[in-house]
Amino acid sequence: MAQVHLKNVVKKYGSLEVVHAINLDIEDGEFVVLVGPSGCGKSTTLRMIAGLEDISGGDIEIGDRVVNDLAPRDRNISMVFQNYALYPHMTVQENLGFSLKIAKFSQSEIDAAVQNAAEILSLTDLMDRKPGALSGGQRQRVAMGRAIVRHPDVFLFDEPLSNLDAKLRTQMRVEIKKLHQKVKSTIVYVTHDQIEAMTLADRIVIMRDGHIEQIGTPLDVFEHPVNTFVASFIGSPPMNFLEAQIDGGKIILQDGTALTMPAGYAANEGQKVTFGVRADNIMPQNHAMPAGNNMALVEMEVSLTEPLGTETLLFAELAGSEVQAKMLNPRPVQNGERLTFEISLDKCHIFDAQTGNALKAQ
Amino acid sequence: MKRFKMPPWLVLLLPAIIILSAVVLIPLVLSLYSSFTPYKLTRPESLYKWIGTFNYEKALGDTKFWAAFGRTILLLTIALNLEMLCGLGLALMVSKVTRGQRALRTAMMFPMMFSPILVGFQFKFIFNDNVGLVNNALQSLGITDMAIPWLVDGKLAMFAIIFAEMWTSTSVFAILILAGLFAIPQDPLEAAKVDGCTPIQSFRFVTLPFLMPFIYIAMAIRSLDVARAYDIVQIMTNGGPARRTELLWTLIGRTGYVDAKMGYANAMGYISIFLAIFFTIYFFRKLTAARAELGMGV
């Protein structure tokens, strides 16, 4: 068990810098998820922690050791790869025990550790099979088993679920969460799927273009995104953004619609802003929006509906932009139907239109 | 009366049947038949005398034949293993080259582009005891002042032949193994690094199992090549000195064309074929096993 510290870690390929001096402190036993779009540097960061990529600057510490120049085998980490990376010529048993065999453990110790891992991941019936004879989910479990037999200081997961189908992914997500509760190790997990990030993480690290945009608990980044990027990346469907201006204590949308301004933004009078609100906070009137909220009423024409069973997503146009709204307790809605929607102003976000950074309520 | 008409499939296959018969079937049957006669090129009428399995019995009891047989297996074993090791080393080094790798790969194939006859002449010159490069170099460097009889001493001659074989054909292994190295998925290698493998352990436990199918393919190809080795040996030593480098096919060639005993030569040829068949089956078994090991199916 160990903490992981990244101090001004830089990664360059030739003259191209892909990770820009990032700082990250991961507590012992913490489950941290690095999330971001493709090419944001999250996998590179993970591979630098693993030692599979050299670092071009800064320090990486695992436990109390600076591991910059240590080979992966000396870092006491284990890693689960996106493509599982099982050894195809070894049986499940041999795959699980391989790292211990390399570390020259006695056969009885190896057997015990392998047996233990196999029980945790219910692999006991598959021990004599080779990876070629396993399904995707089973391979994934073997890959995880291979990681846990060694009792490493840190587990690294590199998009471990992205090759699985949707149903299996949900199932394995739960398995990983349970695994973390059982082994209580530090876990660094990379994914581009914000739902995985939200459900698994103790803390989420949102990255873009080699920078860390925000670090926080899932609820924290969901409720208080620091900028429009984080706001659009976290949460599904993505947050609606509307260009607006603060004028006379009201938020004026581009078509002149005036919304009551949430408290605390008086200092930003006259500023151009981006008004952000999630679909969960735009609902047709009298449609289960919690009472007592500070509401704005707007009338919109529904252009498209996506029924999801327990709720229905409504697409409509407001002030020239498409917005998504949600209807709990769904009823059939015709395209082109005009409805009055409530926007919960307490749950909306106001960003600087230029920089995209969230404006703090005073 | 209705004229006989051949069925269409036979008409369509006829050209192929005629060509195959002329090129393969008739010579095969003829040679097989002649191995049961005392056929001598100088006495054509001997082709019509049936002597049963006499030639085969004679070959199986012939120490010269068995010596050549054993020597061929020896050459095959030594040359194949050395070529495999050198080819593997070469491939591993070339795979690490980042610049000019294409040019290097092309250069690696040069030895295969020369006719084996020319390679034979080239090494006959290099190993010549008077004017050869090797002796000149050794003497100039002061390592020896004697003329080492490379192609005259039995053991040294065998060494020289193996050396020439390796020079020509190590690249067969190098190229096939290189192809294998490029085909290895990187993930298991990275997993091995994280699992604690040193580079040597990674090679031993991950890279090598992946390469085995490629090695066995190269082995199968080369075992056929070496089992029918003729040209290089014929040129370099002509089976000499005193038959100490006589291989199966130089012996068979000599028996058939020099001694003109074609019936006997054919009988030895048919026995020798089994050697090639045996090695082919052996290496293909190994190949199938290695592929199954990797879960690549069969």
CATH code for the domain in which residue A140 is found:
3.40.50.300
Q: For A277, list phi and psi in degrees, rounded to 5.
A: -150, 135
Q: Are residues A244 and A342 in the same domain?
A: yes
Q: Are residues A117 and A224 in the same domain?
A: yes
- Higher-confidence residue of A15 and A294: namely A15
Q: Which of A81, A67, A52, A54 is nearest to A6 (CA)?
A: A67
Amino acid identity for residue A45 in this structure: T
Helix, strand and coil content of chain A, in percent to the nearest 5, comes to 30, 35, 35
Per-residue model confidence as pLDDT tens digits over A207-266: 999 999 999 999 999 989 999 999 989 888 889 998 888 887 788 888 878 887 777 777
Q: Are residues A30 and A137 in the same domain?
A: yes
* Residue B295 contacts A, CB cutoff 8 Å: yes
d(CA A189, CA A46): 8
A255-283 mean pLDDT:
82
Q: Are residues A182 and A313 in the same domain?
A: no
Q: Which residues contact B44 (CB under 8 A, 6 or more apart)?
A: none
Of A191, A212, A233, which residue sits at a domain end?
A: A233
Range of the domain at A37: 4-233
B169-187 mean pLDDT:
90
Q: Are residues A82 and A129 in the same domain?
A: yes
Residue A354: predicted pLDDT: 85
DSSP bridge pairs for A80: A157
pLDDT band at residue A1 under the 50/70/90 scheme: low
Please, where are the H alpha helices in chain B? 8-20, 26-34, 54-60, 63-96, 101-108, 110-113, 116-126, 133-140, 154-183, 186-194, 199-202, 208-227, 231-236, 248-253, 262-293
Residue indicated by tokens 């610049």: B99
Residue B164 has pLDDT above 80, yes or no: yes
pLDDT band at residue B297 under the 50/70/90 scheme: low
The A-side interface with B (CB below 8 A) comprises 50-52, 71-73, 77-79, 81, 83-89, 98-99, 102-103, 130-133, 146, 150
Q: Are residues A212 and A266 in the same domain?
A: no
CATH number of the domain that residue A284 is part of: 2.40.50.140
- The C-alpha of B277 sits at a distance from chain A's nearest C-alpha, in angstroms, of 29
CB-based contact A77 B209, cutoff 8 Å: no
A125-144 mean pLDDT:
88
Q: Are residues A139 and A174 in the same domain?
A: yes
Helix (H) or strand (E) holding A282: strand A282-284
3-state secondary structure of B252: helix
* Residue B201 contacts A, CB cutoff 8 Å: yes
Burial class (CB in 10 A: 0-12, 13-18, 19+), B1: exposed
A361 assigned to some structural domain = no
Compute CA A79 distance to the chain's CA centroid, rounded to the nearest angstrom: 18
Domain B36-293 is found in CATH 3.40.50.150: no
DSSP string, B141-167: TTS-SS---TTTSHHHHHHHHHHHHHH
Residue B177: predicted pLDDT: 93
Residue A92: predicted pLDDT: 92
- Higher-confidence residue of A361 and A233: namely A233
Cα A220–Cα A224–Cα A225 angle in degrees, nearest 5: 105
Residue B296: predicted pLDDT: 66
Question: Given CA atoms A332, A316, A35, A18 in this order, what sign does their dihedral have?
Answer: positive
A10 assigned to some structural domain = yes
Q: Are residues A183 and A244 in the same domain?
A: no
- The C-alpha of B96 sits at a distance from chain A's nearest C-alpha, in angstroms, of 17
Per-residue model confidence as pLDDT tens digits over A148-176: 888 888 999 998 888 888 888 888 888 88
Q: Are residues A345 and A223 in the same domain?
A: no
Residue B298: predicted pLDDT: 42
Residue B50: predicted pLDDT: 86
- A88 preceded by a cis bond (ω within 30 of 0): no
Contact between B291 and B213 (Cβ < 8 Å)? yes
- The C-alpha of B271 sits at a distance from chain A's nearest C-alpha, in angstroms, of 38
A317 assigned to some structural domain = yes
Q: Are residues A188 and A332 in the same domain?
A: no
d(CA B73, CA B65): 12
Could you say which DSSP state residue A15 is in? T
Residue B28 has pLDDT above 70, yes or no: yes
A360 assigned to some structural domain = no
CB-based contact A73 B197, cutoff 8 Å: yes
Per-residue model confidence as pLDDT tens digits over B203-254: 999 999 999 999 998 988 888 888 888 888 888 888 777 778 888 888 888 8
* Residue B183 contacts A, CB cutoff 8 Å: no
d(CA A59, CA B291): 43
pLDDT band at residue A293 under the 50/70/90 scheme: low
Q: Are residues A161 and A52 in the same domain?
A: yes
pLDDT band at residue A292 under the 50/70/90 scheme: low
Q: Which chain B residue is nearest to residue A104, measuring alpha carbons?
A: B196
ipTM (interface pTM): 0.78
A248 assigned to some structural domain = yes
Picking from B184, B195, B291 by the largest number of A CB atoms within 10 A of its own CB, the best residue to mutate is B195
Q: Which of B214, B149, B203, B209 is nearest to B180 (CA)?
A: B214
A345 assigned to some structural domain = yes
Residue B19 has pLDDT above 80, yes or no: yes
Structural domain total, chain A: 2
DSSP string, B41-56: TTBGGGGG---TTHHH
Q: Are residues A26 and A64 in the same domain?
A: yes
* Boundaries of every domain in chain B: 36-293
A323-332 mean pLDDT:
82
Q: What is the mean pLDDT of chain B?
A: 87
Of A217, A233, A249, which residue sits at a domain end?
A: A233
